[in-house]
Structure 1
Amino acid sequence: MAGEPQADCLFCKIVAKEVPATVVRETATTLAFRDINPQAPTHVLVIPKSHHPDAGSLAAAEPQAAADVLREAGLVAVDEKIADSGYRIVFNTGSGAGQTVFHAHAHVLGGRGLNWPPG
């Protein structure tokens, strides 16, 4: 069932404290932690504590939780001192877009020039 923790989900296990992560922020509805394979000097993931496979399904089922993820992404940027220099918030949706963990999550990237398009 959407929203319920999934036994085979890495991010649900991180939320449950069954798998360690370097947590940088936590609220009642979100968890923010450092990416284990950073793609920029600052690379933090912000996830809803409830399980949804991607950003679209999160927004459809729990719009407030989706807003919470975005709010926390902005606060991560402030905490990490990248808000003024610029940062990117990325939601990958589907394996073709590079999503490897099917639990909605935002990548907060910054600390270097981020040209568009990426690659």
Structure 2
Amino acid sequence: MENSLIFTKIIHGKIPANIVYQDKIVTAFKDIKPKAPIHILIIPNTFIKSLNEINTNNKNIITHMLYTSIQIAKKNNISEKGYRIIINCNEHAGQEINYLHMHLLGGKKLNPLN
């Protein structure tokens, strides 16, 4: 199965996931291999392969993804101490699933990035 289909199936409820937020633009759910106490993936409900695919027709999606991550951080009481937002773009950056997604990490002091 093409790995991007996993996210499509989560959005449509065909694969069980711990969804923490969903609206008509994005879906957010807990990562199954968390790297921090709070590790949530935020994905657009419309397929976008990577950050490179953002254009004038869909640029509002990335703003909504960021806004959603802020609201989730506040709801999980990590906004005051801090959190990290990560978007990997393509293979060299570590994007494992060919579907635009944002990682929200927090709940502990995170190590510096290399």
Report the TM-score when normalising by structure 1: 0.87
The Cα of 1:80 is off from its aligned counterpart by 1.1
The Cα of 1:103 is off from its aligned counterpart by 0.8
**Which of 54, 61, 67 is the matching residue for 1:65?**
61
- 8 Å CA contact 2:28–2:41 kept in 1: the answer is yes
Q: Hey, what does 1:111 align to over in structure 2? A: 107
Unaligned stretches of 5+ in structure 2? none
- 8 Å CA contact 2:85–2:103 kept in 1: the answer is yes
Q: Hey, what does 2:73 align to over in structure 1? A: 77
**Which of 17, 39, 42 is the matching residue for 1:43?**
39
What percent of counterpart residues are identical? 31
Report the TM-score when normalising by structure 2: 0.91
**How many residue pairs end up in the alignment?**
112
Q: 2:87 aligned with 1:91, yes or no? A: yes
**Which of 5, 10, 13 is the matching residue for 2:6?**
10
Unaligned stretches of 5+ in structure 1? 1-5
Q: Distance in 1 between matches of 2:107 and 2:93?
A: 23
Q: 2:20 aligned with 1:24, yes or no? A: yes
What is the Cα-based RMSD across aligned positions, in Å? 1.7
Q: Distance in 1 between matches of 2:4 and 2:77?
A: 34
Q: Hey, what does 1:3 align to over in structure 2? A: none
The Cα of 1:66 is off from its aligned counterpart by 1.2
The Cα of 1:8 is off from its aligned counterpart by 5.6
